[in-house]
Amino acid sequence: MIKAKKLSKGDTIGIISPASASFHRSDVLRAQEMLESMGFNVLLGRHVNETKGFFAASEEHRVRDFNDMFYNDAVDAVFVTQGGYGSAQILGKIDYEAIRANPKIFTGFSDITSIHLAIYRRAGVMTFHGPGMTRFTTEDLTEYTRKQFFKAISTPEPLGEIELADKRKWLYSIAPGACEGELVGGNLTLVCATLGTPYEIDTRGKILFLEEVDSEPWVMDHCLSHLRNAGKLADLAGIVIGECNNCDPRIFDPGYYSDTDIEDVFNYYFADLGVPVLYGLPLGHTEDTATIPMGARARLDADEKKLVVLESGVV
């Protein structure tokens, strides 16, 4: 995997909105102020938060901002404002050759999973599953999230163990064992959406990372069934699952009674795969979230309840 240069104070961070617009217009300005107070230069994309329907701007304007940041030699890292919806629309228009020739730190999560997987397949460049720019405010940026983020993108040393943010929380070892492999994946819904496309996730010999938010267990069962039918749960090295926030059954009269817990769904699909499976790390839609380099080699030990990233994400 190709790695970008580490981020240092004085470097320039380019800001883009490849998916949805920020609900509060001030979010981008507040985050810009915080990043600048940390010693970074901030360059806003020309079409950030224009708003067009569900999206931050038209397809053409969103992908233009994306490609321009990789064309611009003055830009050292590319942060998204947030996820939301719409990243998949621009995948066919991204200049992957430019990304390969000019590797830069690229961060985001949730809907940005689509772009992580596309860059992995088409450019072979390591990207970062971590917070969007609008998390960078005095109200929303926890110390754990800040520390883990800059450790991942600013240190050319192995990232090491992804530790719990809250020591009171418990990790669930769904299946025992230990393995090593590259980390691939992201948001479950978006991972499924790559199937049948040129950006389809390759899980062979990999540690599959999944996370989800605001999704009922039966919906997640549907997604996991789809992954299994597509052969993506075969030949895995292991599975690591982030905290799945608000993924409980809801009362909305779906036409049948359902009280199945998400742990039941994970056990159904993962317990008998013969690979280690660990659930509950602070990865994804959580108040405290760790940043991990996608494509990095890692060691998953479900017996010791540890995920250790064995290499750096930057040089």
Q: Report the catalytic residues.
A: 110, 211, 285
Query: Within 10 A of 115 (CB to CB), how many other CB atoms are there?
Result: 25
The residue among 147, 151, 133 whose CA lies nearest residue 30 is: 133
How far is residue 313's CA from residue 6's CA, in Å, rounded to a whole number? 8
Residue 294's contacts (CB-CB under 8 Å, 6 or more residues apart) are: 116, 120, 126, 127, 128, 129, 183, 184, 185, 186, 209
DSSP for 160-171 reads EE---SSTTS--
Token readout for 49 is 């938060």
CB–CB of 17/57 below 8 Å?
yes
Contacts within 8 Å (CB) and 24+ apart, 164-167: 164/281, 164/282, 165/282, 165/286, 165/288, 165/290, 166/282, 166/288
Give the tokens for residue 308: 């250790």
Angle at 295 between CA 305 and CA 77, to 5 degrees: 115
